[in-house]
Structure 1
């Protein structure tokens, strides 16, 4: 192991302006070790020993998130790391593993107060290292936080898109098979002779059925009862090929009275093929409506993604309805809400004035707060997420509240601190609420926490006039 002198430290850019006597004092007070390849300089949760200076070798600094290794930096000779003057860090937040045998000089944390009091230039040099490190590390972690959020949203979005896409494939396949059966029904229909009056009656009935959007919403038991009643009526009136007809007729709200009325106006010999044609037309209508609904769902999801990301917008503030971003965020996180069987209660004051804000940034606020609430509701009985918007004089207030276990008293004051997290290792960076606070302050607003057992509320407040 090489002996270290003040001149060796002087050759490092950080210490070039520090007097040699101060550097020699630091060398004399430090511990000098050589770490073998594969060993750890630091690990998450372990107490920090002091200020580390890498003399030779190489150390990889990384974190584990969602069972994935995320490299933060590669520490080369001349790197200064660990505890620095005035830093609040006491435990490691990342792994520092030696990629090769590394010589390390460690100035003990117990002597930092003496360093600050007696060695001004050395303290100044180390403080500059600290401020640069915090800025770079925060930027990297914020980027990681965004990528993690994007990963969660992408997974949920894939599930949300899969359902309507599969419905379109099934619906189009069923519609194709159904249309192949139409010629037979059409042949039976044209073989009968209808008067102009009968044609008008059938045409008006079909138009009324297709235009009726106020169809009954029935429970499964009630629907089954109705279908049995219609099926009995069809059997009594000798209507052929009626096995799947009852379900269709009930779906469109057709009652036995409607069938009696139609039968009284049509020649009884013609009634069965006419009803079969009506049923086939309604089946086609249902299939097209299902495909249309699934297509609309996909279009809505794509629209929500576009509005949510605002990737085609700059960082300028826009006048927006605050509810749009909240609703789009709920859409993006819908799969996670459904997986957790979480009841969402929206108490929105839709008369609120519009707010001038950076839309993409604000969506990050809603994503972090709602996602945290969802995580807090994991394995909770009767989980509920309540979102309330209201006006309080010249302010807009948004409350995001969950009925989870609450946040323990001993950590409530730390929840907005950078890198602090109550989640298990690898499940969070600890930057979510720090990002929320930073963005809200950019909008001249505030975020407050109210929590107790069985309730956690984050209250975001924005001035209307910006």
Structure 2
């Protein structure tokens, strides 16, 4: 059989096939290398992300541990007992205060049922503290706990519900402290409250005594004039009595007519007889004025609360303003404008105190005013009587006007006022069915006013 020989065409085909095969292998190697490079790059990115996530996770774990340590420290530092229970009433966590109360360590308490660590007689109370409820439903109760020595003191318990992120009830948090401690705290608070009330009463009484002192000073000034007048008249009448007795003794001694005429002229008997009438009238007038002042004092005494009478506003204002101005001993232009026939029902002594306080405050406010002017007016407004006390001083500071009726608030220097005058006046007006208010006038000065039911 003849040998197979390669033709030129066949050789060319083989050469072409070899070239194609070699090029395909080269291209395949290049594609495989690129794929591996891409895979390696992706692995590097994933690894970098894993490292970053790990660092972040470590930071988060550190923050979580710090937060947990903080919460644990806070819970342990609380002096009240704290018990965390699940929805079935099993203890999940307690603080040191509760461990000391029971005389047991944490492992001996956690996992137990609440019913097993309280006094058996308090089971019914426990149910109301553990029952499921809304987020804001807080329940109060009282429990005794079982200890190695028997039962603990009675504790006041506050039960707050716990819910998960879906709003499902998952348990409660119980906090409490011994009733004895609460009772001692309440007794201390009660004692402090009584001390405060006693101090307040003393200050009010001091303010009343101060008002009484100002009233007495005004009365003393008012009494001084008629008493001096009566005293002078009595002194004159005493001298006249000596002369008349001497003249009568001469008559009874059968003295001659000429001698009697000379003695009558010497003793000025005729002038004495003419002066008797004015002297007696003046003395009577002084006595009447003293009697009126004494009557006013009786009306203006600090009567019992609730004691009411018909009060003449005109007489009340005239007396109060007169005495208040006299006690201050300053020159003030006082204008009193009162409608006639105004009457109210109330305690005249207390209302007198209100007018005196307001007038004295107005005078004090006008210390730096060149020409102080005080206007006190009263007029009917329907079924009420409006009383106004106005001055031309600097007015009330805008930051003070909302506080002037508060107890102990004062703008006066130390020792000049207790800050109770306006507060007491405010209370008296309210007890009489009115409301004491204050405003600044547009042209300067301040006005205090109140309305009271008219009779």
TM-score by length of 2: 0.50
Q: Does 1:152 align with 2:253?
A: no
Q: How far, CA to CA, are the matches of 1:293 and 1:431 in structure 2?
A: 39
Q: Give the C-alpha shift of residue 131 in structure 1.
A: 5.3
**Aligned pair in 2 of structure 1 residues 161, 342: CA closer, same or farther (>3 Å)?**
same
> Which secondary structure state, in structure 2, belongs to the residue aligned with residue 461 of structure 1?
strand
Among residues 200, 203, 217, which one is paired with 1:138 in the alignment? 200
Tell me the residue number matched to 1:283.
Answer: 275
RMSD: 3.8
Kindly provide the CA deviation profile for residues 235-277 of structure 1, in whole angstroms up to 9, marking residues without a partner as x. xxxxxxxxxxxxxxxxxxxxxxxxxxxxxxxxxxxxxx8xx87
> Which secondary structure state, in structure 2, belongs to the residue aligned with residue 320 of structure 1?
strand
Q: Does 1:445 align with 2:437?
A: no
Work out whether residues 392 and 444 of structure 2, in 8 Å CA contact, stay in contact via their aligned partners in 1: yes
Q: Give the C-alpha shift of residue 389 in structure 1.
A: 0.6
Tell me the residue number matched to 1:217.
Answer: none
Find the structure with the greater CA-based Rg: 2
Tell me the residue number matched to 1:336.
Answer: 327
Among residues 306, 317, 321, which one is paired with 1:326 in the alignment? 317
Kindly provide the CA deviation profile for residues 73-101 of structure 1, in whole angstroms up to 9, marking residues without a partner as x. xxxxxxxxxxxxxxxxxxxxxxxxxxxxx
Among residues 215, 238, 241, which one is paired with 1:176 in the alignment? 238
Kindly provide the CA deviation profile for residues 311-356 of structure 1, in whole angstroms up to 9, marking residues without a partner as x. 5x6633323323333333235435325x21233322111223x322
Which blocks of at least 5 consecutive residues in structure 1 are unaligned? 1-18, 23-118, 193-272
Work out whether residues 308 and 325 of structure 1, in 8 Å CA contact, stay in contact via their aligned partners in 2: no
Kindly provide the CA deviation profile for residues 352-387 of structure 1, in whole angstroms up to 9, marking residues without a partner as x. 3x3222333323222221222233344643333221
Work out whether residues 389 and 399 of structure 1, in 8 Å CA contact, stay in contact via their aligned partners in 2: yes
**Aligned pair in 2 of structure 1 residues 435, 294: CA closer, same or farther (>3 Å)?**
same
Work out whether residues 340 and 378 of structure 1, in 8 Å CA contact, stay in contact via their aligned partners in 2: no
Q: How far, CA to CA, are the matches of 1:137 and 1:120 in structure 2?
A: 34
With CA pairs under 8 Å and 6+ residues apart, which has the higher RCO, 1 or 2? 1
Q: How far, CA to CA, are the matches of 2:291 and 2:217 in structure 1?
A: 18
**Aligned pair in 2 of structure 1 residues 285, 384: CA closer, same or farther (>3 Å)?**
farther
Q: How far, CA to CA, are the matches of 1:183 and 1:429 in structure 2?
A: 60
Tell me the residue number matched to 1:164.
Answer: 226
Q: Does 1:458 align with 2:428?
A: no
Among residues 350, 354, 369, which one is paired with 2:358 in the alignment? 369
Q: How far, CA to CA, are the matches of 2:176 and 2:272 in structure 1?
A: 90
The structure in which a higher percent of residues are helix is 2
Which blocks of at least 5 consecutive residues in structure 2 are unaligned? 1-77, 82-174, 251-255, 259-264
> Which secondary structure state, in structure 1, belongs to the residue aligned with residue 400 of structure 2?
helix
> Which secondary structure state, in structure 2, belongs to the residue aligned with residue 316 of structure 1?
coil
Work out whether residues 308 and 328 of structure 1, in 8 Å CA contact, stay in contact via their aligned partners in 2: no
Q: How does 1:92-241 map to 2 (within 5 A)?
A: 132=194, 134-181=196-243
**Aligned pair in 2 of structure 1 residues 320, 127: CA closer, same or farther (>3 Å)?**
same
Q: How far, CA to CA, are the matches of 2:234 and 2:197 in structure 1?
A: 54
